[in-house]
Amino acid sequence: MSSDADGAPARPGGRTARNTAAVLDATLAELGDSGYAGLTVERIAARSGVHKATVYRRWGGVDGLLAASLARSREDGWAPRRTGALRGDLAALGHEVVLGFTGSDLRSVPAAAISAAFQSDRAADALRAFFADRHERSAAVVTEAIERGEAPAGTDPCEVVRAAVAPLYYRLCVSREPVAAADVDRAARLAADAAGTGAFVPPAA
């Protein structure tokens, strides 16, 4: 069992848990406000009401805070929406991706984390783990589609998920083009149709 700075046992609802939640909430809020370039332990400590020295001791610095915030989001209970069909499920995933970028301002949390990964290996590692977890959870909609007979057994579920969201991230992060609802739906349709033809069954070893 972990313990807080005074050696007291850490338990849900205890002081350590409350401090952790306050600091990681403040990290995401600062990231959303200022992006990775504007992230400082001083501002996060001030926003959270937790002492700066405590923040440095527990998380080491900005990179540790970002990694812990992304790691925490893996425990957030997120699950993909179900529509009853693979194409609809993938479109719902895609619309959620786009909303994560455009729902607030340009310096949204996902954009900030993707940006941070260009500047910090630790942030890149945290982002990789975050997306591995999201792929894994999103893959449930493909596994269920296989069970319904919408795609053949042996289909790689994570690869179907990547195919549905990659064109959206490409426009948002790389080519910097607007993403229309039709772009989301086309990406979902292409991925679902390709899955239906067995295009995501890896070649036999």
List interacting residues with a second copy (CB under 8 A).
35, 37, 111-112, 114-115, 117-119, 124-125, 127-128, 131-132, 135, 159, 162-163, 165-167, 169-171, 173-177, 186, 189-190, 193-194, 199
Look up tokens 């405590």; give the residue: 54
| Smallest separation, CB 123 to a second copy (Å) | 9
* Alpha carbon of residue 141 to chain centroid: 17
Q: Which is nearer to a second copy, 51 or 128 (CB)?
A: 128
What minimum distance in Å lies between the beta carbon of 159 and a second copy?
8
Q: Is the Cβ of residue 23 or residue 165 nearer to a second copy in the bound state?
A: 165
Polymer length in residues for the chain:
205
Determine the Cα–Cα distance for residues 94 and 171; give it in Å rounded to an integer.
12
- Minimum gap (Å) between residue 88 Cβ and a second copy: 18
Question: 177: closest CA among 185, 168, 189, 165?
Answer: 168
Nearer to a second copy, 92 or 114 (CB): 114
Q: How near is the Cβ of 60 to a second copy at its closest, in Å?
A: 20
> Which lies closer to a second copy via its Cβ, residue 59 or residue 130?
130
Question: Quick check: 52 and 65 in contact, CB under 8 A?
Answer: no
- Minimum Å gap between C-beta 177 and a second copy is 7
Name the minimum Å distance from CB 48 to a second copy: 24
74 vs 189, beta carbon nearer a second copy: 189
Question: Which residue, 4 or 157, is less far from a second copy as judged by CB?
Answer: 157
Could you please report the per-residue DSSP string of 2-66? -B-TTSPBP-TTSHHHHHHHHHHHHHHHHHHHHTGGG--HHHHHHHHT--HHHHHHHH-SHHHHH
Among residues 13, 113, 16, the alpha carbon closest in space to that of 73 is found at 113
Q: Residue 122 CB: number of other CB atoms within 10 A?
A: 16
